[in-house]
Structure 1
């Protein structure tokens, strides 16, 4: 059984106005067409819905029940249209975001909080991945928006500037380098390093920098996150590289020294990538524009 919303709307209009002529005038349709719709509705449901008299039309008990249910159903259909319109204009939506740990720990918490305060009915699904996986996910449409560090991009994606961070050296409190305010990276290569997990953008940067010095990077331990790296450095297992702002935050909890490096590669770009900005859902477009216009964005 299929019920036509137009027929239900006409039926409710006839019940409310008491005559086919009044309903037809209100709905801007011929009276004969309204009458035909009502007859088809009764035939479809197999029951008499209206009693026609010389004074007008009144519903049967079944018709009264149908008018109540029809109003509810038509209201639900209106709600569907409203909600879909909200998705179209970006008031509602679901955004898949893949980002590397540097973006997640430094910038995204505040930026996402501000975005969701403006669009509370949009859901952001944030997943941490290494830079290469972030870009691959966006290129393969596994994510709507990607945020990564550096210039790496061998995929067909659009890239926008987002933020910038600076890498710094962290050493145990009793380390031979503890008294240094700044140094060249080559001097640090004499010591064991605590690194991040395989494939991380910081590991790639350090390996490339060591290669420029024609030296090997001595990775003593590899960790899955910045907090684990700080614990390892704090225990004296080695030295590590962190974004400067994060190192300052962690220094409140850990007893290590922060030393700035002189090389230009320590200043990194944090970037946004999408497959095609124009083809993004409206909510994702709003999110990208929000990230690009926040204070501190490039």
Structure 2
């Protein structure tokens, strides 16, 4: 059985697009040519790979399995190319990262700025994802590196711890909860909260914890950053659960009180997820080492 790399890349484009036409366009092919190539793949595998209708395409179970293998194969091809570039083993390549909200907004921008400035040949695709999607993305080969907080229980991945993340409650000065000792989350639910945007990892995590208590999270407003959350809190709009690093930083310029949370999940280990550290190209390994060094300061 022989697979053409161009066909595998085309299949990935189609699977990640809403239609065969758009997938073909990404591969610089006509829809007819793309359709013929997919049919040839199906003939080789003896399995139908796509369901096609007026709404677009949907992967069959066999298509899902091929997509996982195709992503891994093309990732390894990209790794091979990056290892033999003129820039050297860690100074060129493309890195795709799936990360949680805190990583994307709090420390990755600073880390990546220095990392990329020193390596002109490296490009990065950074995407904010939910924890389950981060794990799945690394497993499937859709991402080279995942950054997550909290326990990770999955086989097939290497988990590299690099720092500790603590969640705290931020309230305005003079608030009834300001100055109190460690509080369980339940004691905060009588007040309106400021939350992050829909799809953020932290908001999804908090909702899960509140649902376990049989209650609901009263959100007064949702914003796009921890700075915006803190500004809302400072003016008395509500209270919010945010990472301690963000709370400490913004409390230097804003009128905020920080209250410790008495919850086992408030302290979370930050980890990097990879499939096989030794198989990664030099640029990804260099970024991992940079994050490990930065983790000592977080």
What TM-score bracket applies, with the shorter chain setting the length? 0.5 to 0.7
CA distance in 2, matches of 1:85, 1:223: 42
Q: What residue ranges of structure 1 are gaps of 5+ in the alignment?
A: 1-80
Is 1:148 aligned with 2:152? no
CA distance in 1, matches of 2:268, 2:101: 14
| Residues 134, 146 of structure 1: 8 Å contact kept | yes
Q: 1:140 to 1:282 in 2, by over 3 A?
A: same
CA RMSD of aligned residues (A): 3.2
Q: What residue ranges of structure 2 are gaps of 5+ in the alignment?
A: 1-80
CA distance in 2, matches of 1:276, 1:258: 39
| Residues 167, 244 of structure 2: 8 Å contact kept | yes
Q: 1:136 to 1:197 in 2, by over 3 A?
A: farther
Q: Find the counterpart in structure 1 of residue 198 from structure 2.
A: 198
Relative to the length of structure 1, the TM-score reads 0.61
Q: Find the counterpart in structure 2 of residue 280 from structure 1.
A: 280
| Residues 181, 259 of structure 1: 8 Å contact kept | yes
Relative to the length of structure 2, the TM-score reads 0.61
| Residues 196, 223 of structure 2: 8 Å contact kept | yes
Q: Find the counterpart in structure 2 of residue 221 from structure 1.
A: 221
Q: 1:116 to 1:159 in 2, by over 3 A?
A: same
Q: 1:136 to 1:235 in 2, by over 3 A?
A: farther
| Residues 139, 155 of structure 1: 8 Å contact kept | no
Is 1:255 aligned with 2:255? yes
CA distance in 2, matches of 1:162, 1:86: 31
Q: 1:86 to 1:244 in 2, by over 3 A?
A: same
Q: Secondary structure at the match of 1:107?
A: helix
Matches within 5 A, 1:164-175: 164-175=164-175
Is 1:126 aligned with 2:130? no
| Residues 106, 246 of structure 2: 8 Å contact kept | yes
